[in-house]
């Protein structure tokens, strides 16, 4: 089961490039969208991340930061992000493998990769919405946008 | 199940009678090969279903993977301003590997549109807001890739190869519309 709304999002620090790390706490103060996905290069993921990449301006309207997470290593992420022109960070849940994905209930031990799961965190780092997709199904971005919109409405 | 939002309206580009029993809406990208593959399928379906079908096209360009898709969509809108949306739509899908700006302008000329006016529209980004609005509506409607089809306002989950069957089924299920 993926972590439910109302849960404090577990903090983490993962590599976002060969020489840089990103921790969740650094993103405090803004809504955060966490996109767990099975693997770089696999076709559905490509569609999912390409879609989220296109929707970045919509996420930006809510001040939200988008982060992708899979068990692929930093060099793989780097090549993949470059080939798809991705404009958001991909984090490597690589060592210990899948540790962060497991904390979010978004790991598939039988396959050895992350689930296709989405989390929307508020500015205080609390999960406001989560969704577990079929591993082969691109979930789309409508649920994330609705959650961000709801969060923004509650603040007013 | 995802619903089309907003529903079909006067700003949509449509083919077929407004009171048709079945509506088919495509969110597409002129540079997307899957949309290119679906193009002749949709044409064949339109021929087969005739006046039973109202078809509409909305833009969903994935601009970071398809660098020509945005301008192609804007050129279709420009052509639409001159009453030539569908002519441009067809030309673009029939020339998916030739979508540079000068080629888009040449297609406009082919359709009898002043090429200088068409070029100006692209440079100014005159139809960019319209394309963005289509894209945003697609995201809200649960479009997760291209092409995505909606039959009578509900997202169709299958592939283009079974689209006709799904539409025929919808024709049987659809209640008869009485005067709109």
DSSP A94: B
Give the residue with greater pLDDT, B56 vs A43: B56
Q: How far apart are CA A118 and CA A2, in angstroms?
A: 9
Low-confidence winner among A30-34, A35-39, B166-170 (lowest mean pLDDT): B166-170
Write down the pLDDT at residue A88. Answer: 97
Chain B contact for A55, CB < 8 A? yes
Across residues A96-106, what is the average pLDDT?
98
Predicted pLDDT at A67: 98
Q: Is the ipTM of this complex over 0.90?
A: no
Q: Residue A133: what pLDDT? A: 95
Active-site position among A45, A69, A92, A106: A45
Question: What's the whole-number mean pLDDT along residues A61-83?
Answer: 96
Residue B77 distance to chain A (closest CA, Å): 20
Q: How far apart are CA A51 and CA A54, in angstroms?
A: 5
Cα atoms in the Cβ-side hemisphere of radius 13 Å centred on A56: 16
What's the N-to-C CA distance of chain A in angstroms?
Answer: 32
Alpha-carbon dihedral angle through residues A104, A23, A68, A92, given to the nearest 10 degrees: -90
How many whole angstroms separate alpha carbon B94 and alpha carbon B153?
Answer: 27
- Encode pLDDT of B146-180 as tens digits: 999 999 999 998 888 899 899 988 888 765 544 43
Q: What contacts B55, CB < 8 A, 6 or more positions away?
A: B14, B15, B16, B23, B24, B25, B26, B42, B46
- What is the mean predicted confidence (pLDDT) over A7-35? 97
Chain B residues touching A140 at Cβ < 8 A: 2, 139, 142-144
Yes or no: say if B69 and B63 are a contact pair by the CB < 8 Å rule.
Answer: yes
To probe the interface with B, which of A35, A44, A47, A51 has the most B CB atoms within 10 Å? Answer: A51
Contact B145 A47 (CB under 8 A): yes
Query: What's the burial of A117, exposed, middle or buried (CB within 10 Å: 0-12/13-18/19+)?
Result: buried
Task: State the DSSP H helix or E strand holding residue A25, giving kind and residue range, or none if neither.
Answer: none
Between CA A27 and CA B108 the distance in angstroms is 47
Is B145 in contact with A53 (CB distance < 8 Å)? no
Active site residue A76: no
Beta bridge partners of A32: A65, A121
pLDDT at A156: 57
Residues of chain B with pLDDT under 70: 1, 174-180
**What is the value of pTM for the model shown?**
0.90
pLDDT of residue B180: 39
Inter-chain CB proximity A139 and B65 less than 8 Å: no
């Amino acid at each position: 089961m993926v972590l439910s709304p109302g849960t404090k999002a577990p903090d983490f620090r993962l590599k976002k490039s060969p020489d840089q790390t990103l921790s969740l706490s650094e993103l405090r103060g803004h809504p955060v969208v966490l996109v767990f996905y099975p693997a770089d290069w696999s076709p559905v993921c490509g569609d999912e991340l390409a879609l989220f990449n296109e929707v970045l301006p919509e996420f930006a309207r809510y001040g939200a930061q988008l982060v992708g997470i899979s068990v692929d290593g930093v060099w793989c992420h780097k090549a993949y992000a470059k080939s798809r022109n991705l404009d958001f960070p991909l984090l490597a849940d690589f060592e210990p493998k899948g540790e962060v994905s497991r904390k979010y209930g978004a790991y598939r031990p039988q396959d050895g990769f992350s689930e296709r799961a989405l989390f929307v965190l508020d500015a205080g780092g609390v999960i406001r919405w989560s969704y577990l997709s079929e591993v082969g199904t691109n979930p789309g971005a409508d649920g994330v946008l609705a959650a961000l919109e709801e969060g923004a409405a509650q603040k007013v | 199940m995802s619903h089309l939002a907003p529903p079909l309206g006067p700003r949509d580009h449509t083919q077929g009678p407004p009171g048709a029993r079945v509506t088919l809406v495509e969110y597409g990208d002129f540079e997307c090969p899957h949309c290119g593959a679906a193009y002749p399928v949709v044409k064949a379906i339109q021929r087969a279903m005739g006046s039973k079908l109202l078809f509409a096209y909305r833009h969903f360009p994935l601009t970071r993977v398809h660098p020509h898709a945005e301008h192609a969509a804007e050129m279709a809108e420009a052509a639409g301003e001159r009453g030539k949306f569908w002519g441009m739509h067809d030309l673009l899908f029939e020339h998916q590997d030739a979508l540079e700006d000068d080629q888009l302008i040449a297609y406009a000329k082919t359709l009898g549109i002043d090429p200088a006016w068409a070029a100006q529209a692209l440079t100014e980004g005159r139809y960019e807001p319209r394309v963005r609005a289509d894209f945003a509506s697609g995201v809200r409607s649960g479009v997760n890739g291209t092409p995505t089809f909606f039959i009578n306002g509900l997202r169709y989950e299958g592939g283009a190869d079974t689209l006709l069957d799904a539409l025929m089924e919808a024709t049987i299920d659809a209640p008869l519309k009485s005067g709109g």
